[in-house]
A and B are shown apart, each in its own frame.
Chain A
Amino acid sequence: EPEVTQTPSHQVTQMGQEVILRCVPISNHLYFYWYRQILGQKVEFLVSFYNNEISEKSEIFDDQFSVERPDGSNFTLKIRSTKLEDSAMYFCASREFDYGYTFGSGTRLTVV
């Protein structure tokens, strides 16, 4: 069964450093998303991406965040200057048309 692949599975970074989280969505999917889940809290929408541009973003997705699809297969989330409160599980998801979203296994980001 096709799956969404995320790397790395765990990233530890120092406060103020830049991190890039990587995702390979399912190949025939058209819509791509990033969500995050702070420990013990709900899964929160960050951003959606379609046709090589951001289509929606939440209030969480401020100027410190950016997304890119550099080569037609990878989909990346960059956090420019990490804060302690950015520590969370980050999930990439993709979908085809109106079907349910398929989530990747996630990247656990720990900011120290």
Chain B
Amino acid sequence: QKEVEQNSGPLSVPEGAIASLNCTYSDRGSQSFFWYRQYSGKSPELIMSIYSNGDKEDGRFTAQLNKASQYVSLLIRDSQPSDSATYLCAVNYKGNRDDKIIFGKGTRLHILP
């Protein structure tokens, strides 16, 4: 069974601080990893993708990947109230004929003004 595990939270972080979100996955063969942000009642919105070990930075967001530990993380610097949302970790799994992404349950992030 392919699994993506996240702490459901809520994670409360003061405005301006760094929010750190973590995710583990079960399939060592996975090659593509994504972070999506989902506001209540809305669809997932892609914010970061990462494919190789190490860090990838995009503005205030940094994704980190460690394939040996099967671990993905997302750092949000200078957290803003608008960052309050559920953050979904998604991992690509190869099926027989096509890939598909499997989501974790998400971590609810609350930025405290």
Contacts and interface: CB of A to CB of B under 8 A. Distances in A.
Contacts of A25: none
Contacts of A44: 103
B98 A98 contact: no
B43 A104 contact: yes
Interface of A: 31, 33, 35, 41-45, 48, 50, 55-56, 89, 91, 98-106
Given A91-B43, A106-B43, A43 B97 contact: no
B103 A48 contact: no
Interface of A is mostly: strand
A99 B42 contact: no
A42 B36 CA distance: 12
B95 interface: yes
B106 A42 contact: yes
Interface stretch (B11-19, B22-30, B44-52, B74-82): B44-52
A42 B100 contact: no
